Structures are given as C-alpha cells and as structure tokens.
Amino acid sequence: MSQITGAQAIVKCLMEEGVSTIFGYPGGAVIDLYDELMSSPQLTHVLVRHEQAAVHAADGYARVTGEVGVALLTSGPGATNGVTGIATAYMDSIPIVILTGQVPTPLIGNDAFQEVDIVGITRPCTKHNYLVNNRNDLVETIREAFYVAKTGRPGPVLVDLPKDIIKADIDFEDRKPIRLQSYQPTYEPHMGQIDKACRLIMEARKPVLYVGGGVILSNASEELRELALKLDIPVTMTLMGLGSFPGSHDLSMGMLGMHGTYTANMAVAECDLLISVGARFDDRVTGKLDTFATNAKIIHVDIDPTSISKNVSVDVPIVSDCRKALTALNNWFNNRQDISIEDEKSKHQQWFEQIKRWQQQHPLTYIEEGEKIKPQYVVEMLDKLTDGEAIVATEVGQHQMWAAQFYQFNSPRRFLTSGGLGTMGYGLPAAIGAKMARPDKVCIDIAGDASIQMNIQEIATAMQYKCPVKVAILNNRFLGMVRQWQELFYEKRYASTTMDFAPDFVALAKAYGAVGLRATRKSEVEDVIREALAVDTFVLMDFEISREEGVFPMVPAGKSTTEMLLV
Amino acid sequence: MKHTLSVLLRNQPGVLSRVTGLFSGRGFNIESLCVAETLDPKVSCLTLITSGDNNVIEQITKQLHKLIDVLKVVDIGDGDFVEREMVLIRVSAEAATRAEVLRIIDIFRGKVVDVSPKSYVVEVTGSHAKIEAVINILKPIGIKEIVRTGKIAIARGGAHK
C-alpha cells in the first residue's frame, strides 16, 4: 500500500478500468486532476467546447464500444452544463461515469464560488451518484461507480470530487471484488418462466419479436438472430433497438411505433404473441394503451423489474439479462428432441405471407418531385454510398426519424440517437465520441438545421483532434418536427418554428477550417456525399431539402397504432 | 388502498432524499414517513404509509428496490403486523379540568410527561385510531399544541421476512 495523491489515485482507477479516452473541460475545482492527466500519456483527454458535449461524447463512445464512457467536468456551471447529457444517458441506459469537481469539503454548503449541489441535482437522472467526503473512500467509490454503471441495467453514475480530496494524500488499496449487499441485479432467467414462454411460442401462430435497446446493451444480437431464424418469427425494433437485428433481413419489419412501418404496427396489432426483449413499452411505441396488441399474449424479458408491467400487463415476465434469456429460449428448442423445428416454422407460414402483403401494400416510401431534394433520398444515398456500414448519429426531430426509417442498420452499435430524452444537440458530440472510439469507421451525424446549432461549437473539437466526422444537415429552415405537428394538428399555425435566420453553414465550416459542401438539387446529392466521404477531414454537408416534407407513417399522439397517417 | 412499507436502507447521507425524490418524481403518494437507525448503525429502517392500487404498489416496491441504497422492501400490510404512533399533546389543565384530563389520559393508558400551572404535556401511543380518539376527547378541554410521529410498524411472530 502506497501513499499517493487523490488525483494520482483517480488516474490509476481509470487505468484499472481500461479507460483510454476521456472527454472534459477544466476549471478551478479539477485543476489538480488535470495537472495529473498531463503526466499520464496513456490517457487521451479530449477537450470539448461545452460540457454538455463532453457527456454526449462519452455517451457516444460507450454506445459504440460497449465500454464505460468517462466525462470530467469542473464544479458549478461545469457540472450543471453536463446535466442534459447525463439525463440523455439515463433515459437510454448508457453506461458512463461523470467525474465532477466540487469546492473543498470545508466550504460545501457555504455558497462558495462555483459551488452547486450536483449530487442533489442529478439524483433523479443518474443510476446512482456519490459525493466523496472522506479521502479514505475515494478509491472504493470510483471503483464502485464503474461497477454500478456497467452492471444490471446500465446507466450514468456521477462522482463528485471535492478539491481537497483530489489534493489529499491517500492510501491506494488493491482491488477487491465488488459486492454490494443492496445491489444484486438478476442476470439468469428463471427456468420455469422460460418453459412457460416456450410453450406460448409453440402455441402461437402469429408471433412477433419486439426488441429494444436492451438487446444491444447486452450484446444479444447473435442470440436474437438465432431465435428469429430458427422459428421464422418476424422482428420489429424500437428506435433504440435498430441494428440489433439486420434491417435488410426478410424477417425484419423495421421500426414500430409513432413513425414505425405500416407492417410493424399492423403486425403488433394483430399478433397472437408479442415477445418483447429489452424494450419498455414506451408511449411512442404503444400509442393508445387500450388498443395496443390486444389480441396477444405478452412475454417480456427485461433486466429491470420496474420495466415489467409498468405500462402494459404481461403474461410471462422474465427478469433477466437479454442475452441469457435468449440463450435459454434457444436451448429449450434445441434440446427438445420431440419437436420438429420445421413444423414449428411452418406454423408461421401464413402469418409471414400476411406480413409480406402488408409490406407490399404500404412500404416505407416518399414522393419524388423532380429536382427537389427529398430528405429520404439523402439518407438512402448515405446508406448506399457507405454500404450501410457507417456509424450514424442523429440529433432529434424529422431527420432523426428519416435516418431511422431509410438507413438500413444491419449491425448493432451503429446507430446513436437520443431515444428516451430526445435531446437536440446530441448527434455531433456523440459522433465525435464514436469516431474517437472507432477511427476506422465512417461516422456521420445526420442533423437538422435547428438541432445542429445546439452544439455546433463542437466542430472546433473535431478539428483540434483531427476527428473527420461527416455532418449531413437536412436543411428545411424549419424546426421540422414541431412544424409537422402544427401542420397536422394546429391548422398550420407555425408558431416559432420558422428558422428565419441561419448561418451559411458552408461558410461556417470553412471558418472552422473544415470543408463545407452544399446541394440544392437532387442531382447534386450523390456527388456531395462522394466528395465528403473522399476527404479525410471534417465535412459539413448542407442539403436544401423540400421544406414541408413530413415524416410518414405517423400515428398521432394518443391514437391507436393502427390509425396511421400514410404518405 | 393503504399500504405500510418497511424499507431497510444503507445509512448514507442523502438516502432519505433519494426515497422522497422517487415518490415526488413519479407522482406516488406519501401519507406518513418515519425513519431511524436499526440495531446495525449502518442500516436505517423507514416505515412509509402510501396508497394506490396493486399496480401502483408493485411499481413503488420495484422502484424502491432499484435504488442502490435500498437493502430490502417489505409490504407489511401483506401479513399480520403491529403498528404504533405516538402523540405529545399540550393540553389545558386549569383547576376545573386537571382531574378530568388525568382520568382521560389514564383511560388511554397515556402519561403526563410535563406539568405546569395551567397545562400538562401528555404522551399517548397506540394505533392511528386510538390517537385520533384521544385527540377528539381532549379537544373540548383545550388542546394548545400537538406533535405526532408517523406510523411505525413491525410484523408479528417471526423475524423481518
């Protein structure tokens, strides 16, 4: 056991956890920790331009790698600026650790300069948080924070670090296995429940797999694919679940819910068994609850017991890690010699034909209008020219839904979007975090002209770290999604949704030393994307799209999911 | 329907605020709340009265469990249990009523814990209904001040489930 400073101990803890990149912004309360980082070349620190972006970047890093992302913020405004990022990660169950500086312990509660009760502020939007007020607790607390962030249902964990603790001499104890009496997530499914679930699957003639972000978080894509293909069960994904099952597969019905496909919503309405894995029956998915999947028995797999029977009561709850539950379901069918898998498959044949008919009747589509740029076309071209292999981040709004509908995600951890909180300004910093984690991949932020301006300062971060993210702005000079609601439900009264002024994005990119490209006609789109992908630097593409294009299908809020407005 | 939840918590700073924040943030109702250390000074016991249908109570129980500092949640309303509240009452005790107050307190098996020329402070423990009853009886005589605890409860028979 050796005496080192708190700052050295924190860096050692980060190394222990295998952290290689952190995102942050310095300030008085964390200056000692930054001083220590300067002598730690193994850790890359990415200096963002706003603390919100540090947290989003750590979140993007975590979504792409599956590891815990780390953000480092100073006390007071540094910490409060991070709150939107923390709440974003909380709603989407993303494992990140946020280290915040705090005023020295003797000053806490005295309204000291840059003091804020960040533990109090973030209590409802973190999985857990800590204020370290004793130097002897420092190391154990940081280790516990990482453990809590990545186990069970993952989530953000904040550790508030008073300046005197960072400067103090402390004993650095060896790592011991962490066991918290009050926190023991259930990973293994109950075999009795698995048995019940499999019997329901055997009885079903019109089953649907409804899968969400939990499948991605637990790395269960392979197991999901095995189950779906083994029994020919069609799959629909939530926004958070996109990529967990290959979007281009015959069994994929695409996304469900408010802007989901006609097929997915019809299939959920008519199915006789809904197998939900790692999804939480969000209001954007279910629409009017009384009419959601009324013909179906429901199996619900989730590691978080509070998700089960929260909105919809279920027949077979399974509290478990998604991967372990899917493995158990697969094993059940693999081990039953008396069951013919081919017979089971054939039971779903008629259902599958019905699904094909729906897909033919109402595929995802849009109306072409000569040389006008349709946003859906831009996304299709991005998909085509990146072979569907890019990491795609989005902001929030119409462009987000077009990205979800028209980019074919065939692998998990490729689509970064703020699903739960719906945070505009998420995409650019998340794409920077993702590109830092996977420099080998093309990283695209599909953005709107309104959203991009919420964290546009991060172009500087991307330029400083030579992080060649590509931004595609679907520019309609509107706050598009709100405008669409106003068009449909508020008699076209466009209250404060017209962006009457915006910067010249191409010139702005150039001002940052980046490349700016613009397309105003459909025939220019492909060339602009090709050029953007060809250069090894940050590129901002400005696509002037048809202004009043809407996102369809659309289930109006509070309506039944079969009441879709179509193109 | 009313439920009595007994919640064991890690005795940490801010832990009560996690519980009350959960209730206010999710729109659950707290009718009374009482918290103190257990035999193990690292653990506190919180007795909480709430109301809601079975789905609401199920959510409350699960959400409480989800808090990292919560060790155990028991809905003790599920079984047979003993519940107690305590009240301290400053009641008028003029020459004409002093004896009457003593008689009433005696009937309720309460105690006088402080005496002054014109008033008593009396202590009564018991079920919610009993506390209500003693207050109603003393009201006409003249209650000057009253302080009540929340309800605490414990299961009958064996140990904490």
Quick: pLDDT tens for A212-233: 999 999 999 999 999 999 999 9
The per-residue pLDDT of chain A, averaged, comes to 97
* Domain boundary residue, one of A361, A387, A404: A361
Residue A257 in domain: yes
A51 in active site: yes
Residue B80 is predicted with a pLDDT of 85
CB contact residues (below 8 A), chain B span 5-44, against chain A? 10, 13-14, 17-18, 21-22, 25
Query: What's the average model confidence in pLDDT over A370-398?
Result: 98
- A187 with A332: CB under 8 angstroms? no
CA B122 to chain centre: 17
Whichever domain contains A448, its CATH number is 3.40.50.970
Question: CB–CB of A120 and B58 under 8 A?
Answer: no
**Does A395 lie in the same domain as A529?**
yes
Residues A104, A235, single domain; the answer is no
Tell me: do A312 and A287 sit in the same domain: yes
For the question of residue A114 being annotated catalytic, the response is: yes
| pLDDT, average across residues A530-544 | 98
Q: Are residues A291 and A227 in the same domain?
A: yes
Q: Which chain A positions have a beta carbon within 8 Å of B11's beta carbon?
A: none
- Is A481 part of the annotated catalytic residue set? yes
Contact A560, A288 (CB under 8 A): yes
For residues A240 and A383, membership in a common domain is answered with no
Q: Tell me, yes or no, whether A228 and A287 share the same domain.
A: yes
Q: How far is the CA of B138 from the CAs of B97, B122, B134, in angstroms?
A: 11, 11, 6
**For position B161, what pLDDT does the model report?**
46
Which residues span the domain enclosing A344?
191-361
Distance from CA of B70 to the nearest CA of A (A): 6
Asked, for residue A430, whether it belongs to a domain, the answer is yes
Q: Is the pLDDT of residue A354 over 80?
A: yes
DSSP notation for A100-150: EEE--GGGTTS--TT---HHHHHGGGSSEEEE--SGGGHHHHHHHHHHHHH
Name the residue among A148, A69, A53 with its Cα closest to residue A395.
Answer: A53
Percentage above 70 pLDDT, chain A = 100
Binning chain B into helix, strand and coil, the percentages to the nearest 5 are 30, 40, 25
Tell me if residue A489 is catalytic. no
The answer to whether residue A457 sits within a structural domain is yes
Q: Are B12 and B69 in contact, with CB atoms under 8 Å apart?
A: yes
For the cut 60, the answer to whether the pLDDT of residue A385 exceeds it is yes
* Chain A residues closer than 8 Å to B22 by CB: 124
Domain assignment present for residue A180? The answer is no
A146 in a structural domain: yes
Domain count of the fold of chain A = 3
| Average pLDDT, integer, range A495-510 | 96
Strand partners, B89: B122, B146
Any domain includes A41: yes
Per-residue model confidence as pLDDT tens digits over A177-196: 999 999 999 999 999 999 99
Q: Are residues A321 and A439 in the same domain?
A: no
**Is the domain of A38 the same as that of A113?**
yes
Together in a domain, A34 and A97: yes
- The single residue of A127, A150, A163, A297 carrying the catalytic annotation is A163
In this structure, the answer to whether residues A39 and A122 fall within a common structural domain is yes
Assess whether A424 and A333 both reside in one domain.
no
Tell me the β-bridge partners of A280.
none
Q: Encoding tokens for residue A46?
A: 């990415």
For residue B142, pLDDT beyond 50 = yes
Question: Would you state the pLDDT for residue B158?
Answer: 73
Residue A560 lies in a domain: no
CATH code: domain of residue A206: 3.40.50.1220
Same domain, A197 and A277: yes
Partners of B17 on chain A (C-beta within 8 Å) are 120, 123
Q: How confident is the model at residue A1 (pLDDT cuts 50, 70, 90)?
A: low
Residue A561 belongs to a domain: no
Mean pLDDT of A432-450: 98
